[in-house]
Amino acid sequence: MPIVTDVNKEKFQEMISNGKIVMVDFYADWCGPCKMIEKQMDELSVEYEDRIESCKINVDLNSDLAAQFDIRAIPAILIFKNGKMVAKHIGLRTKKDLKNDIEDVL
């Protein structure tokens, strides 16, 4: 069962405004690479549970958020710090790459 949960626009805004680092996975149910990155996101959310928050946003259900952050391809991993986007990566990434992204922000 996935650990990183889906959020809507309101919950997302709440998460990024709380001052913590937030890693967001923009995805779609029909996206094969999105399914592949899900396990890595879950593992990292456990590994960094005391330092970051993680969530995922379905682009089909939240097209306004996808447009707001210029998401044109998925999976798209965005990292926010103090409410501002500090990293954006499009496409499938390894767990090591994602971990490096988190460490760069920490």
Of 34, 41, 59, 65, which residue is the catalytic one?
34
Please confirm, yes or no, whether 55 is among the known catalytic residues.
no
DSSP the chain: --SSPB--HHHHHHHHTTSSEEEEEEE-TT-HHHHHHHHHHHHHHHHTTTTEEEEEEETTT-HHHHHHTT--SSSEEEEEETTEEEEEEES---HHHHHHHHHHH-
Of 31, 55, 65, 77, which residue is the catalytic one?
31
Please give the domain boundaries of the chain with CATH numbers for all domains. 9-105 (3.40.30.10)
Q: What is the pLDDT of residues 36-81, one digit of tens each?
A: 999 999 999 999 988 999 999 999 999 999 999 999 999 999 999 9
Angle formed by the axes of helices 95-105 and 32-47, nearest 10°: 50
Q: What is the pLDDT of residues 78-100, one digit of tens each?
A: 999 999 999 999 999 999 999 99
| Spatial separation of the C-alpha atoms in residues 63 and 98, rounded to whole Å | 24
Q: For the whole model, what pTM was predicted?
A: 0.91
Is residue 1 very low, low, confident or very high in pLDDT (cuts 50, 70, 90)? very low
Please confirm, yes or no, whether 34 is among the known catalytic residues.
yes
pLDDT value for 7: 92
pLDDT value for 19: 84
